[in-house]
A and B are shown apart, each in its own frame.
Chain A
Amino acid sequence: MYDTTRSEADVSQQDIKISARNVQVYYGDKHAIKDVNVEILDKTVTAFIGPSGCGKSTFLRCINRMNDTIDIARIEGEIRLDGEDVYDRRVDPVQLRAKVGMVFQKPNPFPKSIYDNVAYGPRIHGLARNKADLDGIVEKALRGAALWNEVKDRLQEPGTGLSGGQQQRLCIARAVATAPEVLLMDEPCSALDPIATGQVEELIDQLREQFSVVIVTHSMQQAARVSQKTAFFHLGNLVEYGDTNDIFTKPRDSRTEAYISGRIG
């Protein structure tokens, strides 16, 4: 759908983390994703933008096989993580999701203490050898999510007692603590106020140093602020993919231009 020559030139400079080839998704009879090809780079923030119902979230959830839980969803094509097809029959989705973490639209801390929220992933995946190890992971993750100073004195209080922005950062810390290689974020700021949004965006920029971040967002300003690469989805198609600057300043597809100038969406 998009001009591959330009993106391939970019790709050559950095590692490809995820590559999708001819991905089709069907929900029952509905063809939700139509032949998407994309390459997502390591240590980069990639934004998926587009009007609602365009398939960006659906595609995001394909990457760590969250769609497996939906009975009527059917996926064709291949998505490779470091060259391995995540839909290979031998792949255990549990192991995949440990590598490809996810942050959701609505903050969803577990009804446990802050500490237990962050320690949840390391515990189930056995990342800590002992209690001190685990404490270290929790602290690092909370520091990484810029939450440590706010919660360090009340780690045993329930995570649900935090403010919305803090809850979302707690969820990010929870995902980071599992030491993922890719972090998927599905409109992580849509339930937050502007100040909290700013904090999360800053955080996303820092996370880029450790791993690849894919963020679905409704807000073009946000995409412009946080991402280096942007993919524009429309009606299940990946219309255009390229450097964020290029997409917002000189879009090549008329639909992209219509969207960023506010005519569709």
Chain B
Amino acid sequence: MIRVQSEDFDIGAEIEALRKGRSDIGAIVSFTGTVREGDGPDALESMTLEHYPGMTEKELARIEAEAHERWPLQASLIVHRYGTLKPGDNIVLVVTASSHRHAAFEAASFLMDYLKSSAPFWKQEKGKQGPRWVASRDSDDAAKARWDKPTAQPKAKPKISAVE
């Protein structure tokens, strides 16, 4: 399930709703992204998240569907906020539920890496030095790339060693 909203979310209530009435789940992983204040001249007063209504929902649903294709998940949730947030506020919540922990951990990490490099959100920070659009980071693309499926390569011929 995915949700895009300006309102805050309650992590405990979201997890409870996801698992309610189910006894087939063995592992639940959640990740919460929050507004970091920073310090010195870069300290934040607020952060405004802009997004592309329509495309945002499609991208999040696409990313979630891909996670379900790759891992045996019993449930998942992505909640992403937009609008003006203060330091310490929640930005994003990802919850994954599976029979076993590895799938839940990996899928949650995958969802965040994909979301950061493809969901159409843009952060603008406001501090003492005025508003500033946050620049994308190469490390986010690298984090996404680690989930790329390896391209099929021809099998190398076994080496034959003449002398044992």
Do A and B pair up? The answer is: no
Task: Tell me the A residues contacting B by CB distance below 8 Å.
Answer: none
B residues sitting closer than 8 Å to A (CB atoms) are none
